[in-house]
Structure 1
Amino acid sequence: MNIFKQFYKSLYSPKDIAQFHLQGIGKTILFVFCLTLLSILPVIFYFSSALINGMDAIQDSVKTDLPSFIIENGEMKTDLDVPKIINKDDFTIIFDSTGTVDEEELSNSDNTIALLKNDAYIISGGQSQSISYSMLNDLTLTNENLQELLATIDSSLVIIIPIVVVIIFIVTAGFKFFEISILAIFGLLFKKLLDVNIQYRHTWRLAAYSVTLPTIFFAIMDSIKTVVPNGALLHWFVALMMLFLTIKEIPREEKK
């Protein structure tokens, strides 16, 4: 069965998934990478769009809306007494040199660029990327310098975005393999309860396909920007149920 049919069957059929426990590990690993790529497509789309649109918005704001400031010794300084919030179309720019805005408050933000006292943040699609001013070392940054820097970054987005996408993919794939490995341990418990003669390498393969349904479901929710209450618990519950039903489909007399 090719990988596309496996993907389709894994969405609803524990009986078909059960047949995959004897296939080569290489094909299973390839499936996990493909599943990971599908799961991050909404994040990549929204993050890339936000980065491109946000770069245009912040360049305009630096020229027209932001007060004079200076970033030196890892800290931004201005004459503002309160944070300044600028709304540009569907994008929000938060400018705060007072330390009032806490980075934890930004977790609920969407399509936001925040220039805070010690760090800058880009938030989009549930993903947050931060840059510490301390990375500037001894470099001093002002409005004029920032305009030049933003122009350089804007012209380099064609390189920056693919690099960020690769990083997101690697990190997400790492978490996905970790999730599958933990799920496979539960598979050993299920195989004892169901008296099925399989080993960890088999439960790992089955776990890789059992996470397909919850992974795709939450990818769809991300694509329509819908937050699912207790999403993590729901994800694990569905994956565990799929794995249990899959192992249940393996005949008890099945050998290694």
Structure 2
Amino acid sequence: MENEKTGFFSKILKSITDFKMYPLIIKESVGRAIGYLVLLSLIIGLLGCIKPIYLTNKVIDMAVKTFESEIPYFNLSNGELTVEDEMPMVFEQGSQIIIIDTTNQIDKGILNDYYQGFILYKNSMINKQGPQYQEIKYTDLGNLEFDRDSIKAFMPKLKYIIIPIIIVFVILGAVLGKLFSSLIVSILGLIVNAISKGNLKYDGIYKIGIYSLTLPSIIKLVIKQIPIRIPFFGMMFFFAYYAIIIIYIYKAIIEVKTESL
């Protein structure tokens, strides 16, 4: 009954600091333990959205400023592209190239030297992907019309499209990832239980494993927000992550054994 009255945030704290809680965890249902894991994952997922949302805002704001300062006025209307700048305009990087030529003087054969490329002519565009060429006339795009000003006005609105997608994928990834981790951890728990002669059933080990994920999951969340990059840190943290879990499972099993004596 004591465990049933324990609130969610108290469980987070006690699962990290109080091993006497683990004998109580054994007595609760698997569904209740999974509910704890899902709620923990949702919170971690929400907090994990902070950095990618910040970076998305920053990148889009920088893109808008670059667009304003470097892109000349252009207009696509009635199937014709006009650009107020000297022709041709060439943007090249590695095996990719984009050419804007409203004078139609550049031959598409120039794309042969690139794996991927575009040529924007006055009335059509050429798209090259590998060995494949595709020509699209602007009139084939229907009544599509836009200019520099309309694109500039639309760019900040990308935040309202990209950010919700980020939130959904990060939270969904956190929940599914933790559920999968709980299965991996339960296998580690079976090994630890056998070595320590804990005599716990699988459902008890699974529940202990779920709560043992709390501290390493919080540490992982904090580390992800830090912009510092250390060589081989990911590999080192992987081992540290599961080492913490194994220690918690072991101490929890010992606590359960001690209480049952």
Secondary structure of the equivalent of 1:250? Answer: helix
User: Which of 231, 242, 247 does residue 253 from structure 2 map onto?
Assistant: 247
Question: Which residue in 2 is equivalent to 1:20?
Answer: 25
User: Which of 48, 51, 55 does residue 56 from structure 2 map onto?
Assistant: 51
Aligned residues: 198
Distance change (3 Å), C-alpha of 1:187 and 1:68: farther
Q: Is 167-176 or 222-231 further displaced after alignment?
A: 222-231
CA RMSD of aligned residues (A): 3.5
Contact 2:212 2:249 (8 Å CA) reproduced: yes
Counterparts of residues 144-155 of structure 1 (less than 5 Å): 148=150, 151-152=153-154, 154-155=156-157
Letter in structure 2 aligned against 1:244? Y
- TM-score normalized with structure 1 length: 0.64
User: Which of 193, 199, 210 does residue 195 from structure 2 map onto?
Assistant: 193
Q: Quick one: distance in 2 between partners of 1:189 and 1:58? A: 52
Say whether residues 1:235 and 2:234 are aligned partners. Answer: no
- Post-superposition shift, 1:98? 5.2
Q: Quick one: distance in 2 between partners of 1:224 and 1:182? A: 27
Distance change (3 Å), C-alpha of 1:189 and 1:44: same
- Post-superposition shift, 1:254? 5.1
Question: Which residue in 1 is equivalent to 2:45?
Answer: 40
Give a deviation string over 1:171-206, Cα, whole Å, max 9, x none: 121111111111111111222222223221111111
- Post-superposition shift, 1:246? 1.0
User: Which of 81, 87, 91 does residue 80 from structure 1 map onto?
Assistant: 91
- TM-score normalized with structure 2 length: 0.63
Distance change (3 Å), C-alpha of 1:68 and 1:145: closer
User: Which of 150, 168, 172 does residue 166 from structure 1 map onto?
Assistant: 168
Letter in structure 1 aligned against 2:8? I
Question: Which residue in 2 is equivalent to 1:135?
Answer: none
Q: Quick one: distance in 2 between partners of 1:246 and 1:164? A: 36
For the pair shown, the structure with the greater C-alpha radius of gyration is 2
Letter in structure 1 aligned against 2:253? I
Question: Which residue in 1 is equivalent to 2:222?
Answer: 220
Contact 1:42 1:222 (8 Å CA) reproduced: no
Question: Which residue in 2 is equivalent to 1:202?
Answer: 204
Q: Quick one: distance in 2 between partners of 1:169 and 1:149? A: 31
Query: Which consecutive residues of structure 2, in runs of 5 or more, have no partner in the other structure?
Result: 1-5, 75-88, 99-115, 118-135
- Post-superposition shift, 1:170? 0.9
Distance change (3 Å), C-alpha of 1:251 and 1:147: farther
Give a deviation string over 1:181-237, Cα, whole Å, max 9, x none: 111111112222222232211111111100111111121222333457222111111
Give identity over the alignment, percent.
19
Give a deviation string over 1:130-157, Cα, whole Å, max 9, x none: xxxxxxxx7989xx66874564353353
- Post-superposition shift, 1:27? 2.1
Q: Quick one: distance in 2 between partners of 1:157 and 1:170? A: 20
Give a deviation string over 1:82-111, Cα, whole Å, max 9, x none: 47xxxxxxxxxxxx9359xxxxxxxxxxxx
